[in-house]
Chain A
Amino acid sequence: MGEIIVITSGKGGVGKTTSTANIGAGLSNLGKKVVLIDTDIGLRNLDVVLGLENRIVYDLVDVVEKKCRVKQALIKDKRFENLFLIPAAQTRDKSAVSPSQMIELCDELRKDFDFVVIDCPAGIEQGFKNAIAGADRAIVVTTPEVSAVRDADRIIGLLESHGIKDPVLLINRIRIDMVKRGDMMNIDDILEILAVKHIGVVPDDEKIIESTNRGEPVIADSKSMAGQAYRNITRRIAFPDENIPFLDLEPAGGLRGLFKKVFGDKKV
């Protein structure tokens, strides 16, 4: 039986969709069978981030309204073995799907897939409720900014009150230079405030924008720091008992020490 993971945040634009795409691609690279669901109905994005926008026939609303079979709506990614997408509908709104329909869909998908990864819309309303309804666990994405971390705290509270225990944090867009100057909160600052565990830290990286331009997840770029960070994160998801050291992220010598100073002894 597969596991259902929701990627959520509260605040928009912090990297949920980017993270969903990369975690999906990363899990499939590790030999897992993965389906991604875009629940941001009306503001569909995951298809373009993955470069699958020209292949959409059916969408999530078609599936829950039973206008097609689930299998018909699965778009297969040709570059990643066993990676599939169920895209959001673009011309409907969040109320076109209900939490109970999402639970039903998730339970059907978990029979065939190792992981179902759900991209959640911003906010705490209907779209959020749909996205988390069928989830077993949650990854909360934040950037190192006051507003994003505050929203993350709110979301962690809501997840727990919906019975999703121990959500983990993904800290995105860290800038080492700024942390070093004391102009950006570091990982320990954020974890202390939120009192949760983290699953990884992704640096702010131009390569993400480049790869998104091309519709290719950055995880496939073996040289990028963000790609390495996502590879580590997916290993932690797929093999929770394995201990993945964070130092692998830095290419060489001097920078390593710096990285250690910035991130403390925490994993990246």
Chain B
Amino acid sequence: MLDVIMNFFRKPKVASKDIAANRLKVCIIHDKTDGSPEILEMIRNEIIKIIDNYVEFDRDALEVNITHADAADGKTVSSALVANIPIKRVKRIGK
């Protein structure tokens, strides 16, 4: 708890315009993907096609999401495309 408070006070002041720009980027990514789950579904299907060449996996369990997390610098929020692919077996490839 004390740590949290100390960190809070130690944080260098971020220009409010950078906070604005960052929040805006996240909003817009949200707006574009929330409105069209089809985009995520298309990405999911493409990933399945590629992964299928290399590993055996549980198709129904394959999840693709966009997450928003505080970046390591603690100042910004970053958005990431996260795919969770439970692998059953790696296929034997090539030689």
Report A's interface with B, CB cutoff 8 A.
145-146, 149-150, 153-154, 157, 179, 181-186, 189, 193
Contacts and interface: CB of A to CB of B under 8 A. Distances in A.
Contact of A150 (B15, B17, B28): B28
Given A149-B24, A153-B28, 4 more contacts: A145-B20, A154-B31, A182-B15, A189-B21
Nearest to A184: B17
Contacts of B15: 181-183
Contacts of B16: 182-183
6 contacts: A145-B20, A146-B27, A150-B24, A150-B27, A179-B17, A193-B24
Contacts of A189: 17, 20-21
A145 B17 CA distance: 9
A145 B27 CA distance: 13
Nearest to A148: B24
Nearest to B16: A183
Q: Chain B contact residues: over half helix, strand or loop, or mixed? A: helix
Nearest to B15: A182
Interface of B: 15-18, 20-21, 23-25, 27-28, 31-32
Q: Chain A contact residues: over half helix, strand or loop, or mixed? A: helix
A193 B17 contact: no
Q: Kindly list the 5 A-B residue pairs having the minimum CB-CB distance in the complex, ordered from nearest.
A: A182-B15, A189-B21, A185-B17, A183-B16, A146-B24
A153 B26 CA distance: 12
Contacts of B25: 193
A183 B17 contact: yes
B20 A146 contact: yes
Contacts of A181: 15
Nearest to A186: B17
A146 B17 CA distance: 9
Nearest to B19: A146
Contacts of B27: 146, 150
A186 B16 CA distance: 12
A183 B19 CA distance: 9
